[in-house]
Structure 1
């Protein structure tokens, strides 16, 4: 009996300590605090659409570009955002005004969805914890992603987990169809454009009157070697040193630089010291507005830059990328390139300009402001209608849900 009492005491102390840690400022930002919104338990969601985001503040860059479009969906259909980290939920609530709920355990989500009539679930990443939500058969599950690109990770086999994928343009559909086996990409994809571009803030260009500005915006090293397109170690320091003085160099680091490799973090630190400006606290639209030419990697940044019409150079990656109409026409920078001379030539004539312009709609859909957001809201409505038809048939056959 004494032994059982000690075990029980140890268990209670452990739970108490974990609770204190979750509520303290010492819990790492990359670890969900799982502080449940207790007043929401046992109460149904009134909304038809649920955004599921189980990751933390470190990944909020994936969700922020969707804020404008999610507010539009909320106005049309009602949207609730479900988190596992209360700190992330608080930031999203403060920045959007959306209904944000933190649920620590799968069973809590199960209970609430059993009481609700949520019809559509949205996801912006492939976090494995998404499967806690993907289990529910009474909803249509849609993958949104967080920035289309020609990276290999954009054609992940994980798309099969979702009922539908909302894609930007024909390029994304072609990429998926060519790379993912046993998957009908045309049937499972809806082209909506890029609603993220509709939320671009108004910015005033701040050029350097004495010299052109080059924006260097590499991607991170990635957690998988097969899709590691980051150029900081292969190009970064040499590129910046070659351009310094002759050009104003603005560096826009990826928020995850160095989380996998210390050597990548070290290269990031050196580049920060060498450049004229580091853009971490301004919107990417400001970085774009101030730049005459962009140097970046195979990443979503290339596609966001396309509508500017200004010169673009992409670093030659060390790993393969899927077939890409853009990479076929954009000049690539090898690690040993004469960086300053190449930049000068493309600022003077931009030989790839017409070919890039022809690809804007292929990658982004109709870039007219407001069109993509309207298509996104309409696509959500169509998915809800599809769910109602299909779920009615399943209920008639005996399905119980959720």
Structure 2
């Protein structure tokens, strides 16, 4: 209780600080309006009403997106002091307009003020209550709030506005009280949810370790990123489930739980953010032998400190991007790579990893890709898959050709070919890239409509079908050629045996091929698109790199493609999760490099 009081006092001090400093300009503007009105002889009650409306308009404007859509931001607890003063102003104005109803007026005002002043406490309660588990037998899930708490603040703004309007109209004060009681009911529901979540959360924390000891998971999948779970975890969870051992997924971000739950039925655990180490200690049980990582967050190191586990780096793709040869990978006990190329990337970039830490496991994700190792008829129309990657986290890793995408797609259409368009899912989070995606999608829609009119239908595929209904393998199988960037899409397309092109967004010419070895068996589209016509000639014609590409496939993807592509991974990963640290005999993953 003492700690709770101290927390509330800190919140109050912070609120006063915000009011005194962050809103200084707003307060000055409101004061100026009031002085101007007073100087012109405006009645005092109208001056006060103008001040209240000006203050309300100011704070709503500053947080307009959060007010209108409170689920998109943490609005709860903002402008408590300002809203309290506004409620007093509304109450005083109402009392002047309805002097015979002070009981209704001040009951409504006091109730509204109590609800507003309770927000910091509610915010603290919600902030200390986090989801602990999802789907772990014997441990209850922390109940979610009945509604997003931000709606409580929106209701407060609505109450102030409605109260001001009712006061000006001299409406019966019981109407104002009724509106306030609606907000009070919402506040009561929110507090009840927070209390219930606290009780269940504490019970869940105590029950995690006993439940895990009963489950006896063989390994954990650790995920520390806020975004990307759908494609990063989604790439590996089906194969980890095929190990047929119980396992858990640990995610550092509660927001990722709904997405992960769509991908697996395995229990999902979330360490407490204020006590991560203590939470993780409870999650590592004696039956657990290994941990797998698909994303390179520095926060992975928090879990890597459990040295009784074998920590396996999977990554979420195989390409020549920097993410595939980061120095941090040397801290893992095992690095799973698709082929010999994956090993040599590290040495070629000056990263020293002992040879016995590598394991060549092939590329399980290519098992559903149909192989076509014979050429298509020359000059015939093709179905070309355009799959640009995302722009990366910084300029030095921006390999995306999406800014050139419209020109590339138009050039393919001019060849009479059909297009499958599958952009990287993360590209939608960037407003400019999302606009470019919509432009290309509209281009394909217009072209398909024109082809129907001309009687020569081109069945382009984009949007929901290309990105949701079809997986990557389905897009590959429906295409005759690929245009992409420096991306694992290019590596995986090798399994098909079909021709592909890479856009040299960073660098160009021989420098590009030196830095990104996969480009040696790809047709390279320079950033200025000067080589685009000749590349399209190859994709639609002779395909002079066919034999080199087939030789490179084993070097990049390992010995197996097609239906048995996952066998090597399942053997090696199965040995590790069973507690046998080294790979099976003859499967150490170290072999001679292919010559390309």
TM bucket by the smaller chain? Answer: 0.7 to 0.9
What corresponds to 2:365 in structure 1? 196
What corresponds to 2:544 in structure 1? 351
By how many angstroms is 1:156 displaced? 0.8
User: How far apart in 2 are the matches of 1:114 and 1:212?
Assistant: 52
Of 497, 501, 504, the residue aligned with 1:309 is 497
Contact 2:391/2:399, CA 8 A, preserved across alignment:
yes
Of 562, 565, 569, the residue aligned with 1:376 is 569
By how many angstroms is 1:180 displaced? 3.5
User: How far apart in 1 are the matches of 2:282 and 2:2?
Assistant: 40
Give the direction of change, closer, same or farther, for the CA distance of 1:376–1:40 in structure 2 (3 Å limit).
Answer: farther
Contact 2:339/2:554, CA 8 A, preserved across alignment:
yes
Of 126, 131, 136, the residue aligned with 2:306 is 136
What corresponds to 1:42 in structure 2? 209
What corresponds to 2:409 in structure 1? 240
Structure 1: gaps (5+ residues): 28-34, 202-209, 389-402
Any residues of structure 2 matched to 1:159-198 within 5 Å, and which?
159-184=329-354, 186-198=355-367
What corresponds to 2:421 in structure 1? 251
Please say if 1:83 is aligned against 2:251.
yes
Contact 1:119/1:140, CA 8 A, preserved across alignment:
yes
Of 467, 470, 475, the residue aligned with 1:280 is 467
By how many angstroms is 1:303 displaced? 1.2
By how many angstroms is 1:115 displaced? 4.4
Of 193, 201, 224, the residue aligned with 1:54 is 224
Deviations 1:93-136 (A, max 9, x none): 45433333333342353332454332211101101221221121
Please say if 1:69 is aligned against 2:69.
no
Deviations 1:230-278 (A, max 9, x none): 1112x2121122223522222111011154x544333333222223432
By how many angstroms is 1:339 displaced? 3.3
By how many angstroms is 1:337 displaced? 2.6
By how many angstroms is 1:91 displaced? 4.3
Please say if 1:328 is aligned against 2:328.
no
Deviations 1:324-367 (A, max 9, x none): 44312322012333635531343121111111111111111122
Of 7, 16, 20, the residue aligned with 2:125 is 16
User: What SS is found at the alignment partner of 1:146?
Assistant: coil
Give the direction of change, closer, same or farther, for the CA distance of 1:386–1:179 in structure 2 (3 Å limit).
Answer: farther
Deviations 1:18-53 (A, max 9, x none): 3799846869xxxxxxx9765752323411211112
Structure 2: gaps (5+ residues): 12-119, 132-143, 150-199, 371-379, 445-459, 583-596
Question: How many residues are matched?
Answer: 369
Moved more, 148-157 or 2-11: 2-11
Give the direction of change, closer, same or farther, for the CA distance of 1:2–1:174 in structure 2 (3 Å limit).
Answer: closer
User: What SS is found at the alignment partner of 1:190?
Assistant: strand
Contact 2:289/2:309, CA 8 A, preserved across alignment:
yes
Contact 1:149/1:299, CA 8 A, preserved across alignment:
yes
User: How far apart in 2 are the matches of 1:89 and 1:39?
Assistant: 20
Any residues of structure 2 matched to 1:188-227 within 5 Å, and which?
188-198=357-367, 211-227=381-397
User: What SS is found at the alignment partner of 1:358?
Assistant: helix
Contact 1:243/1:340, CA 8 A, preserved across alignment:
no
RMSD: 3.3
User: How far apart in 1 are the matches of 2:563 and 2:382?
Assistant: 32
Moved more, 95-104 or 166-175: 95-104
User: What SS is found at the alignment partner of 1:359?
Assistant: helix
User: What SS is found at the alignment partner of 1:68?
Assistant: helix
By how many angstroms is 1:369 displaced? 4.4
Of 102, 108, 111, the residue aligned with 2:270 is 102
What corresponds to 2:92 in structure 1? none
Contact 1:123/1:144, CA 8 A, preserved across alignment:
yes
Name the one with the larger helix percent: 2
What corresponds to 2:317 in structure 1? 147
User: How far apart in 2 are the matches of 1:272 and 1:40?
Assistant: 50
Please say if 1:363 is aligned against 2:556.
yes
Of 273, 276, 286, the residue aligned with 1:116 is 286
> When the two structures are superposed, what TM-score results if normalisation uses the length of structure 2?
0.56
User: What SS is found at the alignment partner of 1:268?
Assistant: helix
Contact 1:194/1:365, CA 8 A, preserved across alignment:
yes
Please say if 1:270 is aligned against 2:439.
yes
Structure number with greater Rg is: 2
User: How far apart in 2 are the matches of 1:383 and 1:366?
Assistant: 21
By how many angstroms is 1:226 displaced? 1.5
Deviations 1:275-310 (A, max 9, x none): 343222121122112212111101100111112122
